[in-house]
Amino acid sequence: MYLQLSDEELVGLLKVDDHLALENLFNRYYKSLCQLSAVYTKDFEIAEEVVANMFMKLWDTRNDLNLQNVKGYLSVSIRNASINQLQRKKLVVESIDEVAHQLSNIADELTPLNIITGRESYNRILKLIDTLPASQREVLLMSHVDNLSKHEIAAISDISVRTVETTLYQSVKKLRLLLKDFYNSAASN
């Protein structure tokens, strides 16, 4: 059973041309890697492309791989590939509309918070996230990628766990300030 095998064992199986091993790795990490890539590319379609290409590359280089930490390797590869992709394609279309569409599902849930705030401030926050300093934006969004711990975020971005924690807190604090500014200026107008 492939489900039982660790990532490292699966990568070992790639060397004997085992397609199922690649498929299992793909199923295990596709979603979270796409989310990670989208932090940089800001476009989910491009993110999916980047991830698919990375798996093809993984297959091509399977005989030279000797990995201790497969998840870390994949995450760092995706980060690099996504940043490269950005540099290659300077013009990135930001799909705020799509995000807003997904938000409509969330906003339909009637938590007390949603009743008070509504959808508008969500869109406001989404736009403000893109105005954060790059490092804060990166850590804030990475903290929501599936199955990615603080330690792994620290390893991928090459910063300490402590820095991840403080950056996360600073990004939320900054966003609160930005939001307050926005509402104050809206009220005075």
Asked if residue 106 binds other proteins (CB under 8 A), the reply is: yes
Task: Mention every residue, 6+ apart, whose C-beta is less than 8 A from residue 71.
Answer: 7, 29, 152
Neighbours of 20 (CB within 10 A): 10
Q: State yes or no: residue 176 binds other proteins (CB under 8 A).
A: yes
132 CB-side CA count, 13 A: 28
Phi then psi for 93, rounded to 5 degrees? Answer: -85, 125
Q: Is 103 in the site for other proteins (CB under 8 A)?
A: yes
Cβ closest to other proteins, residue 103 vs residue 155:
103
How far is the C-alpha of 79 from the C-alpha of 73, rounded, in Å? 10
Nearest distance, CB of residue 109 and other proteins, angstroms: 10
Which segment (17-25, 75-83, 86-94, 155-163) binds other proteins by CB under 8 A?
Answer: 17-25
> Which are the contacts of 167, defined by CB distance < 8 A and separation ≥ 6?
135, 136, 139, 140, 159
> Near other proteins by CB under 8 A, which window of 42-50, 72-80, 81-89, 151-159?
42-50
Q: Whole-number minimum distance, CB 47 to other proteins, in Å?
A: 8
- 73 makes contact with other proteins (CB under 8 A): no
Candidate list 87, 90, 110, 144; residue touching other proteins; CB under 8 A: 144
Can you tell me which of 45, 65, 92, 133 binds other proteins, judged by CB under 8 A? 45
Nearer to other proteins, 91 or 115 (CB): 115
**Under the rule (CB under 8 A), what is the footprint of other proteins?**
1, 3-7, 19, 22-23, 26-28, 30-31, 34-35, 38-39, 44-45, 47-49, 51-52, 55-56, 59, 98-99, 102-103, 106, 113, 116-117, 121-122, 125-126, 129, 140-141, 143-147, 165-166, 168-169, 172-173, 175-176, 179
